[in-house]
């Protein structure tokens, strides 16, 4: 049976595809205030502005391509049962053909009803407009989990992490909960790999291996380590 390799990915894995991270010096939250674009309050204050913000993000995602890190994760499926838990709202893991992906914060290529959030629609192209409505006539919003909203996929994510044999944390600053808290569900008897050019805070001393590199270089290093 294949070992279970679980991946917690964040914005850094898509940086080499040209998508901005959030908290780096040129990151998205340098140019925007979270409260203005990524909360329910922001939505009710100015829906058009919020739609425009995510339209630009969607346009960037559609123009981007998966990079080597996404592709190497797909390749690892030949040897491991790979499960990806991503905080990213882009679809680059999907486009790299990874088969098992759980989005914690939603996905930007989908819209959801503001009347019934179980009504999800895929978006054709990059633009959502005022007046785009669900079948009950309510305005559609991006299918993104905003700050202050529940993270419905956290329970399945916890289970996946608990069952992992190997955990890889890649391209996330681990600043946002509950996602950042997932690590504590991983056995400290098993190896945790962290790929990030910067040091990130993880309170674990045993069985932790930091690969201080960009995502694609870090993935190459990881594969060499796993091969030994
Ligand atoms: P952050 O922007 O907080 O962190 C990105 C991480 O990627 C940092 O640790 C960087 O050092 C690292 N990084 C930068 N370039 C990299 C590269 N080329 N290769 C590998 N790593 C690189 O992004 P997240 O941790 O993903 O939520 O942010 C978590 C959540 O906060 C997001 O999902 C988003 C945001 O607000 C929502 O939108 C709900």
Q: Which is catalytic among the residues 70, 93, 103, 105?
A: 105
Closest CA to 6 of 101, 106, 104: 101
Residues 32 and 211: their CA atoms lie apart, in Å, by 30
- pLDDT for 47: 96
Dihedral sign for Cα atoms in the order 100, 101, 102, 108? negative
Report residue 205's pLDDT band, with 50, 70 and 90 as the boundaries.
confident
- pLDDT for 228: 84
Q: What is the pLDDT of residues 131-160, one digit of tens each?
A: 999 999 999 999 999 999 999 999 999 999
Largest Cα–Cα separation, the chain: 57
> Ligand 1 centroid to 176 CA: how many Å?
10
Q: What is the pLDDT of residues 155-197, one digit of tens each?
A: 999 999 999 999 999 999 999 999 999 999 999 999 999 999 9
Closest ligand 1 atom number to CA of residue 11: 26
Q: Does residue 201 register a pLDDT over 90?
A: no
> Ligand 1 centroid to 21 CA: how many Å?
5
Q: What is the pLDDT of residues 41-73, one digit of tens each?
A: 999 999 999 999 999 999 999 999 999 999 999
Average pLDDT in the chain = 96
105 among known catalytic residues: yes
β-partners of residue 106 are: 144
- pLDDT for 35: 86
Q: Does residue 30 register a pLDDT over 90?
A: no
Helix (H, G, I), strand (E, B) or coil at 55: helix
């Amino acid at each position: 049976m294949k070992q279970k390799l679980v991946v917690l990915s964040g914005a850094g894995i898509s940086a080499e595809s040209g998508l901005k991270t959030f908290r780096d010096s040129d990151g998205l939250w340098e140019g925007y205030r979270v409260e203005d674009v990524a909360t329910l309050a922001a939505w009710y204050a100015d829906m058009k502005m919020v739609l425009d913000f995510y339209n630009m993000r969607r346009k960037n995602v559609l123009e981007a391509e998966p990079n080597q890190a996404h592709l190497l994760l797909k390749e690892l499926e030949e040897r491991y049962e790979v499960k990806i838990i991503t905080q990213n709202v882009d679809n680059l893991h999907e486009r790299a053909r990874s088969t098992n992906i759980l989005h914690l914060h939603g996905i930007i290529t989908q819209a959801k009803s503001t009347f019934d959030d179980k009504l999800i629609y895929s978006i054709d192209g990059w633009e959502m407009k005022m007046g785009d409505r669900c079948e009950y006539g309510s305005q559609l919003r991006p299918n993104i989990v905003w700050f202050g909203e529940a993270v419905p996929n956290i329970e399945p994510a916890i289970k996946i992490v608990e069952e992992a044999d190997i955990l890889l944390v890649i391209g996330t600053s681990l600043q946002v909960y509950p996602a950042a808290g997932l690590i504590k569900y991983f056995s400290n008897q098993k190896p945790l790999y962290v790929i990030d050019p910067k040091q990130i805070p993880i309170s674990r001393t045993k069985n932790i291996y930091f690969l201080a590199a960009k995502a694609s270089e870090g993935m190459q290093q990881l594969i060499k380590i796993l091969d030994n």
